[in-house]
């Protein structure tokens, strides 16, 4: 519940506040714009740079991205929702991303995911009240050989089962 409340607060405050981005991110965005023949091709690196800085992609960041790559705002929103690597809500310190695509699915990703849900008391797209964990189903992480795979922030953990996950969680503060 409090996860929802803080989310609403985050969203509405975002609508009021102008976007603040560091010079480094701005420079990164400028650089990616020069990398392609069309500005629009830079949409992914631009979104990624913004997310790296802010931690997620608030509507203002999406608007900003749309204006720099000269794409309709709606389209940028569509792109950001297409890829599971983009967060359209704030996430916790440890973002648990469980691959649900075929190989992982066959190797028990579903069981793993349900285990995490039960253990953390949150569902897909939610964050624990203490802001420690967020949980999310994602598409193929390109680690099919190590299925099932879980990505925590930027780290991969492969060949998992419930016990391994439990041990892993204990190491995450």
Q: Give residues in contact with other proteins (CB under 8 A).
A: 59, 62, 70, 72-78, 81-82, 139
CB 147 within 8 A of CB 100: no
Q: Least distance in Å: CB of 37 to other proteins? A: 16
Between 76 and 98, name the residue whose CB sits nearer to other proteins: 76
Between 19 and 144, name the residue whose CB sits nearer to ligand FES: 144
CB 57 within 8 A of CB 87: yes
Between 32 and 101, name the residue whose CB sits nearer to other proteins: 101
| Residues paired with 127 in a beta bridge | 134
Q: Least distance in Å: CB of 158 to ligand FES? A: 9
Residue 72 partner contact from other proteins, ligand FES, none using kind-dependent CB cut-offs of 5 to 8 Å: other proteins
The residues binding ligand FES (CB under 6 A) are: 99, 101-104, 140-144, 147, 149
CB 61 within 8 A of CB 54: yes
Preceding peptide of 148 cis, ω within 30°: yes
Residue 99 partner contact from ligand FES, other proteins, none using kind-dependent CB cut-offs of 5 to 8 Å: ligand FES
First-to-last C-alpha distance (Å) of the chain: 22
CB 86 within 8 A of CB 46: no
Residue 121 partner contact from ligand FES, other proteins, none using kind-dependent CB cut-offs of 5 to 8 Å: none
Between 10 and 102, name the residue whose CB sits nearer to ligand FES: 102
Residue 101 partner contact from other proteins, ligand FES, none using kind-dependent CB cut-offs of 5 to 8 Å: ligand FES
Q: Enter the DSSP assignment of 126.
A: E
CB 10 within 8 A of CB 54: no
d(CA 59, CA 15): 7
């Amino acid at each position: 519940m409090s996860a929802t409340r803080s989310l609403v607060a985050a969203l509405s405050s975002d609508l009021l506040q102008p976007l603040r981005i560091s010079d480094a991110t701005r420079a990164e965005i400028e650089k990616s714009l020069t990398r392609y023949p069309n500005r629009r091709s830079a949409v992914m690196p631009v979104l990624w740079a913004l997310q790296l800085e802010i931690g997620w992609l608030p509507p203002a960041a999406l608007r900003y991205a749309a204006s720099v790559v000269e794409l309709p705002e709606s389209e940028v929103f569509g792109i950001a929702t297409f890829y599971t690597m983009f967060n359209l809500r704030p996430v916790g310190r440890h973002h648990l991303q469980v691959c649900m695509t075929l190989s992982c699915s066959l190797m028990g990703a579903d069981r793993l995911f349900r285990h995490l849900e039960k253990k953390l008391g949150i569902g897909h797209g939610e964050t624990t009240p203490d802001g420690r964990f967020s949980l999310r189903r994602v598409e193929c992480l390109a680690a099919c050989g190590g299925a099932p795979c879980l990505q925590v922030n930027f780290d991969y953990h492969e060949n998992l089962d419930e016990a391994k996950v439990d041990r892993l969680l204990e190491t995450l503060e």
